[in-house]
């Protein structure tokens, strides 16, 4: 591979990145070649030191996706960042996708639990309120006043549980971004 092929492959692997960023990256690699040649290295040695241009391009695209997810937090952007990190290699399929799916499943189950606790509290309140009208359909075992206040407490617990799950979701998002940055840095060093 010669310098022109390297630069063309790098440009193609950068894909649809911002044109300013793409030009800046290509300029940096032109500088690597210029400095290397001034130091007496051959083009082949410089290319060997720089590494595979496709991997370099994927790494830059993954970094750009992570930065976009930091600047514009959304499910779409974090998904793009994860897929970009997965594109860096098969190694990332286990290292990135496995923990992400596990933690996402935990978050979904926490939200489902919060909704279930909230619904149980509301059901307890309505059971006490409508027991006089629907006595044959609604059975209350225990003191109705105690069950009413238990329903209020359970509803409040469900709301607090939901709020806590929202904070965990924000923490998960920030942690995912940090984890992806770390992962991209590790892959870039390899």
Question: What pLDDT, in 10s, does the model give residues 110-164?
Answer: 999 999 999 999 999 988 888 777 766 667 777 889 989 999 999 999 999 999 9
C-alpha dist (Å) from residue 118 to 122, 131, 167: 6, 20, 17
How far is residue 116's CA from residue 160's CA, in Å, rounded to a whole number?
A: 13
How sure is the predictor about 189, in pLDDT bands with cuts at 50, 70 and 90? low
Q: Yes or no: say if 184 and 63 are a contact pair by the CB < 8 Å rule.
A: yes
Question: What pLDDT, in 10s, does the model give residues 79-118?
Answer: 877 777 776 666 666 777 788 888 889 999 999 999 999 9
Closest among 73, 84, 83, 88 to 175, alpha carbons compared: 73
- Helix 43-50, helix 3-14: angle, nearest 10: 30
The separation between CA 139 and the C-alpha centre of its own chain, rounded to angstroms, equals: 46
How sure is the predictor about 165, in pLDDT bands with cuts at 50, 70 and 90? very high
Question: What pLDDT, in 10s, does the model give residues 6-62?
Answer: 888 888 888 777 778 888 888 888 888 888 888 888 888 888 888 888 888 888 888
């Amino acid at each position: 591979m010669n310098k022109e092929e390297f630069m063309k492959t790098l440009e193609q692997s950068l894909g649809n990145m911002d044109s300013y960023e793409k030009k800046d990256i290509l300029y940096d690699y032109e500088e690597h070649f210029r400095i290397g040649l001034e130091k007496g290295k051959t083009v082949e040695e410089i290319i060997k030191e720089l590494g595979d241009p496709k991997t370099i391009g994927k790494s830059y695209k993954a970094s750009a996706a992570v930065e976009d997810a930091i600047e514009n937090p959304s499910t779409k952007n974090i998904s793009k960042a994860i897929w970009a990190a997965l594109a860096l290699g098969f190694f990332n399929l286990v290292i990135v996708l496995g923990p992400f799916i596990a933690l996402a499943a935990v978050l979904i189950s926490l939200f489902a639990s919060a909704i279930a606790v909230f619904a149980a509290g509301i059901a307890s309140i309505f059971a006490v309120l409508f027991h006089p009208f629907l006595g044959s359909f609604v059975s209350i075992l225990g003191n109705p006043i105690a069950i009413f206040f238990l329903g209020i407490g359970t509803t409040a617990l469900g709301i607090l549980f939901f709020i806590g799950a929202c904070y965990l979701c924000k923490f998960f998002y920030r942690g995912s971004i940090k984890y992806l940055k770390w992962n991209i840095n590790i892959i870039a060093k390899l």
